[in-house]
Amino acid sequence: MYVNMGLIGYPLGHTFSPVLHTHFLDITGINGGYTCYEAESPSSIPYLLDMFRRYSFAGVNVTVPYKIEIMKYCDALDASAEKTGAVNTLRFVNGKITGYNTDVYGFGRMLETAGISTAGKNILLLGAGGAARAVIAYLAEFQPDKLTIANRTVAKAGFLASLCSFKAVSSDMDSVRGGIYDIIINSTSIGLKGEGFPAVGAASEALVDLQYKPAVTPFLAGYGSGPERINGFSMLVWQACRSFAIWTGTEPEPDIKKLSDIAYRS
């Protein structure tokens, strides 16, 4: 058996996903491959999905900016996708597409291994896209004292705030620049193309970026020394493990340090 897997999104020049899944195939002894497909426009998504079915793909990951857009192509959603309102993993069975969200699991494992607790904290979340929805789904279980969601389009931040089961408010990016928070989480795509990311607010405990390349991301680089700074690499690994299990029935046991050495060396 050969397992076809892949990734769709735009841009994809930064991704480590092929490195991770190739490693998973190696350590599990499963024969397969993982390929990236850049979808510069949403109009290319139906063509890609037809191709995946035609070549019997087990599934694909979905990244920015299509984690919400892709939902309309799913025949079914599992509980994680229903809860989150975003999909980052597709599984193909008998021509049908089921959408999953493994980002919530990945985000939670990242915080857990870093020893970071969100319960009772004052948190600033930057961005209001599909990745932000995974953060909010996690926070619904480990509730902060207050969440501020800042986004370029305030209406999108306001919509996400209205979905929260805990205290949450929305803001534009400029209004939070002088604020002080316990934890600041970046879920935006700002910096993916190499542009700078000036500091937004100050954090007393932790800065968490869902981006992971370079190791000191543009968001993290915008801050001086002080609170703990974490990029999204371990989140990427954990969500990838869960996606791999959905497609193959086998969940790999990752060595984060080894994978980091491989990925950042590639």
What are the boundaries of each domain within the chain? Answer: 3-101+234-265, 104-231
pLDDT tens digit string along 10-34? 999 999 999 999 999 999 999 999 9
* Stronger pLDDT, 266 or 210, i.e. the higher one: 210
Alpha carbon of residue 11 to chain centroid: 14
Q: Which residues are catalytically annotated?
A: 67
Are 3-101+234-265 and 104-231 equal in CATH topology?
yes
**Percentage of the chain exceeding pLDDT 90:** 95
For residues 217 and 153, what is the distance between their CA atoms, to the nearest angstrom?
Answer: 23
- At 194 the pLDDT is 85
For residues 47 and 198, what is the distance between their CA atoms, to the nearest angstrom?
Answer: 38
Joined tokens for residue 266: 């590639």
H-type helices in 119-174, by residue range?
130-139, 154-163
Cut 0.85: pTM above it: yes
pLDDT band of 225, cuts 50, 70, 90: confident
Domain 3-101+234-265, CATH among 1.40.20.10, 3.40.50.920, 3.40.50.10860, 3.30.565.10: 3.40.50.10860
- At 224 the pLDDT is 81
Which residues sit opposite 96 in a β-bridge?
93
Is residue 266 pLDDT above 90, yes or no?
no
pLDDT tens digit string along 112-164? 999 999 999 999 999 999 999 999 999 999 999 999 999 999 999 999 999 99
Instruction: Write 97-100 long-range contacts (CB < 8 A, 24+).
Output: 97/49, 97/73, 98/74, 99/70, 99/71, 99/74, 100/243, 100/246
Q: How far is CA 112 from CA 35, 123, 249, in A?
A: 30, 17, 25
- At 104 the pLDDT is 97
Which residues sit opposite 38 in a β-bridge?
9
- At 1 the pLDDT is 79
Average pLDDT over residues 49-63: 97
Is residue 217 pLDDT above 90, yes or no?
yes
Average pLDDT over residues 238-260: 97
pLDDT tens digit string along 67-101? 999 999 999 999 999 999 999 999 999 999 999 99
- At 200 the pLDDT is 94
Instruction: Write 194-201 long-range contacts (CB < 8 A, 24+).
Output: 194/218, 196/221, 196/222, 197/221, 197/222, 198/222, 199/223, 200/124, 200/126, 200/150, 200/173, 200/176, 201/124, 201/176, 201/177
- At 37 the pLDDT is 98
CATH of domain 104-231: 3.40.50.720
